[in-house]
Amino acid sequence: MVWNSSSPVPLDLLMSNSSSLLTGGAVGSPKDSFSNALTKNIVAMLVWMTLSIINGTMVHTFLKHRLFYEDPRYIMFICMVVNDALQLTLVTALYVVSYIFAKIHASVCCLLIMTAVLTTRSTPLILAGMAVERYMSICFPLHYGHMCTVPRTFLLIAIILLLAATPPVTDLLITVIQEPPHFFHSSIFCDQSLLFRHRSIYYKNCVFDGAYLSFVALTLLYTYCKIMLAARAASSGLASVNRARNTVLLHGIQLLLCMLAFVVPSLQAALISLFPRLGLEIRYIFFLLVYIIPRFLSPMIYGFRDQKFREYWARHLVCWTPSGASRVKPTAQLKVNRKVTVNDS
């Protein structure tokens, strides 16, 4: 499992609890039975497959309709969906790999960890961008078309990726400078605290995480308060304002769940030290709470709640079912026949 190295807990404590989940662990560390390991991995894979199908259908719906990729709101949404899908895939892969292999090549682990950290850190920044977009659409409706354009949206996404990539890239640079050359050719248990283990990385990430999470939290709080004031002052279109307010509120809940990834290492290490025999179960519960459950919120906020996207998404879901395809084909053929008849007349 990916542990964030910026938690306020000594690295020695983190590393003492970073043994393999099944084999190759420290002396006296608990080991899962084959049935428990198989059940946990099957559940993780089923959840990954379910969310991957949902996210895949949403991306397909987005790409099939021009009105979506010309709207900054839906561009940010699909960016969140792709980010969540990639993060879930990487974290699930790391979780399953930890059961199969005691150690993997350090360079491969580095690539997996850095990409997983990049997607994890991108989520709060994307949430802030989506909240600002909702704030502008409600509080500055007349200027929205000038302020929120497609080029500016892509520029914002590029800035988000740059900011999110800064910590893992600097972690890598520090590790390259501090570690011996043969370190990246060795085999290690794939864990962030074991890969990027220099203490300067810990303090650097503490400062970065505190600054950027505070910025995101203040952004969501500011936009929510502004939309609340707009909702009270609105004499018409109150429903849309309330929907925007509820959307920002859900983004706040998402942020709280995302912030668990930054406090879990210390809490997890403390619980494992108190209940060492339940270490595997504690890790698995935190894996579900931190990396799985928050991934369900993005489809819910826009895929299910947004009326426009829900209508187009439902059409594609119906078309993909066998019964839906049989209903769509005669309809399409009827439209073609009508077109031919009109042209002939």
Q: Which two tokens stand for residue 300?
A: 């819910």
pTM: 0.76
**Does 68 have pLDDT greater than 50?**
yes
* pLDDT value of position 235: 54
**Does 20 have pLDDT greater than 50?**
no
Q: Which CATH architecture fits 11-305?
A: Up-down Bundle (1.20)
Least confident of 160-164, 206-210, 290-294: 290-294
Domain ranges of the chain: 11-305
pLDDT in tens, 29-44: 456 677 877 888 888 8
- In the block, tokens 């559940």 appear at 43
* pLDDT value of position 151: 92
What is the rounded CA–CA span in Å between residue 198 and residue 222? 37
CA dist 319 to 88, 269, 329, Å? 27, 48, 9
* pLDDT value of position 238: 62
* CA 62 to mean position of chain CA atoms: 18
Q: Which two tokens stand for residue 278?
A: 């339940």
Q: Which residues of 38-58 are buried (b: 16+ CB within 10 A; e: fewer)?
A: eebbeebeebbeebeebbebb
Top-ranked range on mean pLDDT: pick from 129-138, 156-165, 299-308, 332-341: 156-165
What DSSP string runs through 189-257? ---HHHHS--HHHHHHHHHHHHHHHHHHHHHHHHHHHHHHHHHHH-SS-HHHHHHHHHHHHHHHHHHHH
